[in-house]
Structure 1
Amino acid sequence: MPCDEANHVCDKSQYKEASLLEKIKLNLHLIYCKACRGYSKNNAKLTKRIEAAELECLDPKCKEDMKKDLEKALKEQLH
């Protein structure tokens, strides 16, 4: 398995989207590839931190209001 494919499978695995065969191939690749082990470790850290942050997204109306305000401010700045 090439490193770029291993990184892709690593990403899929983090989100529970990798098949059993992909996971097996990834684990075999990680045995001998230090760079991909590092990528996998950093990916796991990032996922844990994002989950721990308990981020909340803006609701669609708020986003639309912000977009309109920004567009209005840009128009005023240009004139």
Structure 2
Amino acid sequence: MSKIKIFIPCDDANHVCDKTQYKEASLWEMIKLNIHLIYCRACRKYTNNNTKLTKAIKESNVECLDKKSKESMKLDFEKALKELTD
């Protein structure tokens, strides 16, 4: 009979916290994370900071470059880098 692991180390808790931020954590992982957060102050702080970061990113009005602009910028950078090394 296998033993069910409810308690997880901080590294695993932080990883699950990150997965939760991107909605990739399973229900069981979130349950274990919440149990861990009951007794670990450091991970509670990490989770709170992660939540604040996620909220700030969602509320920001940052516009990303389109793929064509990124590719153009990359080519310009590579050209400038080549000029410096020649």
**Range of TM-score over shorter length:** 0.7 to 0.9
When normalised by structure 1's length, the TM-score is 0.86
Task: Name 2:11's counterpart in structure 1.
Answer: 4
Structure 1: give runs of 5+ residues left out of the alignment. none
Q: How many residues align?
A: 79
Give identity over the alignment, percent. 68
- RMSD over aligned CA atoms reads 1.4
CA distance in 1, matches of 2:46, 2:55: 14
Q: Higher helix proportion, which one?
A: 1
When normalised by structure 2's length, the TM-score is 0.80
Q: 1:12-64, CA deviations, whole angstroms, 9 ceiling, x for partnerless residues?
A: 11222211111111111000000000000000000011111132221111111
1:63 paired with 2:70, answer: yes
